Homo-oligomer: A and B are copies of this chain.
Amino acid sequence: MNFSEHWLSRRAALTPNRIAIHTAETSLTFAELLKETTAIAEKLSSLSLDPAKPVALMIRNSLDGVFLIHALQQLAIPALMVNHRLSAAEWKFQLQDSHTQLLIVDDVFDEKVNSLKNELSVYTIGAVEQLNNTFVNSSLYDAADREVCSIMYTSGTTGRPKAVAQTYANHFFSAMGSALNLGMDVEDTWLCAVPLFHISGYSILMRSVIYGNSIRLYEQFDEEKIHDDIEYGRATMISVVTTMLLRLLAVRNGKPYHKSFRCMLLGGGPAAPHIIEECFEAGIPVFQTYGMTETASQFATLSPEDSRRKIGSAGKPLFTSEISIVNTYGDRCKANEVGEITVKGPNVTPGYLNHPEANETSFKEGWFYTGDIGYLDDEGFLFVLDRRSDLIISGGENIYPAEIEAVLTKHPAILEAGVVGKDDPSWGQVPVAFIVLEKGFSFNSDDYNAFCKESMAGYKVPKVFYVIDKLPRNASNKLLRRELKKRVMNE
């Protein structure tokens, strides 16, 4: 499959008058969205950008952000989606590692990126709007399906962040797989309160353009307003993480949701059984899902009719996706046998950019090795037991222990560190650290805290530091995080 036309242009040609996007202030049809997008693409054209190098976006969930995303697609330039909650050290690494040619930031982030302006071309959205318009020859558009559309960084077992390339085909098949499972209706409106810089949010934009459905865009999660939208039929689907679902449940008024509301898509790790039970009692159609940046969002999804019978499961793979559980010998596991979750399908990334060694480890014979542990039961339902390398999911954000440990051991007082997740009523989990002190140093929690904040996003900074004499390790000196996890649970 090759697309020789920009998706938004195609959509605007097919259904120009349907509403593409609602925000708190306004609504735009697909024709209007294309017009705004083209204006931005024309301004960016004046910069003579290189289509082979990414343009990074550090944006909030705003209309301007949406225009930029579509404009980069119109120019067939990959968009590096930067998490603005990251520390300067973190996003600087991403910009460098990805060979970003230009950074565009929301005006509010202008100061934040000041230090970078000597090294890289940086524009605020306001500055982009001041550029001259240059004609975009859309007949030259040529984003083959294998071309990179978006880039998002993720850390794996090593803790070193890697750029995940998401192609146009990845996004297309992700949207198709989702539709084949959830159905597709002209009247659907997908509420987007998850960040556009995460695959959960970005994929909502893509589905909107492919399906011809509306989005209701939120700058941030606001349970009161979102509850109203759902209650009054202004949203038929929403993507949430457990934290958001809990906040929505907390503001319920006993009335059922609007009958048109048909999907609460719950990602970011399995939800506690009592939450599923509560949703069931309230008639809320919760679809639990398993997916990751590398699979361009959902890969397996559990339908509400199976939610209670298969509590803890992430459902079955989507139609075009395959899941295989592999044991330590590399053999395919039988039903109910635990092993590493490997996945295959047209929505799986072709690989990490500029990381051949990671690709070699992660891809074998067309299968992507997720590093996650789980099993398929005898009906083919997936159960995820452990996210890769003790991944910590906190309020929908992925936190990789190895990444935090690497920072901590740079502190002069810290010899070794082990980081694990601790259950938390509002965030699902929060990171906590076990540290072994260098000789002659005494414990100073505030110091470690400040040290961390310099080089990582706030949500990654360990909430508690525990001093221990020695980290638990196995014979080959591998850190046994599950032992640390036991201690946390015994607290």
**A positions within 8 Å CB-CB of B:** 1-5, 10-11, 13-14, 169, 173, 176, 179-180, 183-186, 210-212, 316, 319-320, 322, 344, 346, 366, 380
State which of B10, B169, B179, B366 has its C-beta within 8 Å of the C-beta of A179.
B179
Residues of B within 8 A of A344 (CB): 4
A183 touches B186 (CB 8 A): yes
The minimal Cβ–Cβ distance linking A85 to chain B, given in whole angstroms, is 35
For residue A209, which residue of chain B has the nearest CB?
Answer: B319
A1 touches B169 (CB 8 A): yes
B180 touches A1 (CB 8 A): no
Copy tally for this chain in the complex stands at: 2
A316 touches B14 (CB 8 A): yes
A13 touches B176 (CB 8 A): no
The minimal Cβ–Cβ distance linking A368 to chain B, given in whole angstroms, is 14
Residues of B within 8 A of A11 (CB): 319
Residues of B within 8 A of A3 (CB): 320
Tell me whether A184 and B180 are in contact in the complex, defined as CB-CB below 8 angstroms, given that A210-B319, A322-B4 are known contacts: yes
The minimal Cβ–Cβ distance linking A211 to chain B, given in whole angstroms, is 7
Known: A5-B322, A180-B211. 5 other contacts (CB 8 A): A1-B346, A2-B346, A10-B319, A179-B184, A183-B184
Residues of B within 8 A of A179 (CB): 179, 184
Give 17 pairs: A residue, B residue, CB < 8 Å, sorted on A: A1-B1, A1-B169, A1-B346, A2-B346, A4-B344, A5-B322, A10-B319, A176-B176, A179-B179, A179-B184, A180-B211, A180-B212, A183-B184, A183-B186, A184-B184, A185-B185, A210-B319
The minimal Cβ–Cβ distance linking A447 to chain B, given in whole angstroms, is 53
The minimal Cβ–Cβ distance linking A298 to chain B, given in whole angstroms, is 14
A13 touches B316 (CB 8 A): yes
Q: How far is B176's CA from A173's CA once the two chains are assembled, in angstroms?
A: 10
Q: How far is B346's CA from A322's CA once the two chains are assembled, in angstroms?
A: 22
Residues of B within 8 A of A320 (CB): 1, 3
For residue A173, which residue of chain B has the nearest CB?
Answer: B1
For residue A318, which residue of chain B has the nearest CB?
Answer: B14
Residues of B within 8 A of A212 (CB): 180, 319
Q: How far is B395's CA from A115's CA once the two chains are assembled, in angstroms?
A: 73
Q: How far is B2's CA from A105's CA once the two chains are assembled, in angstroms?
A: 39
For residue A186, which residue of chain B has the nearest CB?
Answer: B183
Q: How far is B316's CA from A10's CA once the two chains are assembled, in angstroms?
A: 11
Q: How far is B186's CA from A14's CA once the two chains are assembled, in angstroms?
A: 25
For residue A212, which residue of chain B has the nearest CB?
Answer: B180
Q: How far is B319's CA from A338's CA once the two chains are assembled, in angstroms?
A: 41
A210 touches B180 (CB 8 A): yes
Q: How far is B207's CA from A319's CA once the two chains are assembled, in angstroms?
A: 12
The minimal Cβ–Cβ distance linking A13 to chain B, given in whole angstroms, is 5
Q: How far is B441's CA from A266's CA once the two chains are assembled, in angstroms?
A: 81
The minimal Cβ–Cβ distance linking A23 to chain B, given in whole angstroms, is 25
Residues of B within 8 A of A5 (CB): 322
For residue A14, which residue of chain B has the nearest CB?
Answer: B316
For residue A184, which residue of chain B has the nearest CB?
Answer: B184
Q: How far is B15's CA from A250's CA once the two chains are assembled, in angstroms?
A: 34
Most B CB within 10 A of own CB, among A10, A11, A380: A10
Q: How far is B185's CA from A383's CA once the two chains are assembled, in angstroms?
A: 27
Residues of B within 8 A of A14 (CB): 316, 319, 380
Top 4 A-B pairs ranked by shortest CB distance?
Answer: A1-B346, A184-B184, A183-B184, A13-B380
The minimal Cβ–Cβ distance linking A376 to chain B, given in whole angstroms, is 10
Q: How far is B374's CA from A191's CA once the two chains are assembled, in angstroms?
A: 41
Q: How far is B119's CA from A119's CA once the two chains are assembled, in angstroms?
A: 77
Q: How far is B185's CA from A388's CA once the two chains are assembled, in angstroms?
A: 35
Q: How far is B177's CA from A212's CA once the two chains are assembled, in angstroms?
A: 12
For residue A5, which residue of chain B has the nearest CB?
Answer: B322
The minimal Cβ–Cβ distance linking A400 to chain B, given in whole angstroms, is 30
Most B CB within 10 A of own CB, among A11, A14, A211: A14
The minimal Cβ–Cβ distance linking A232 to chain B, given in whole angstroms, is 23
The minimal Cβ–Cβ distance linking A347 to chain B, given in whole angstroms, is 9
For residue A345, which residue of chain B has the nearest CB?
Answer: B1
Residues of B within 8 A of A346 (CB): 1-2
Residues of B within 8 A of A1 (CB): 1, 169, 173, 320, 346
Residues of B within 8 A of A210 (CB): 180, 319
Residues of B within 8 A of A319 (CB): 10-11, 14, 210, 212
For residue A211, which residue of chain B has the nearest CB?
Answer: B180
Q: How far is B319's CA from A1's CA once the two chains are assembled, in angstroms?
A: 12
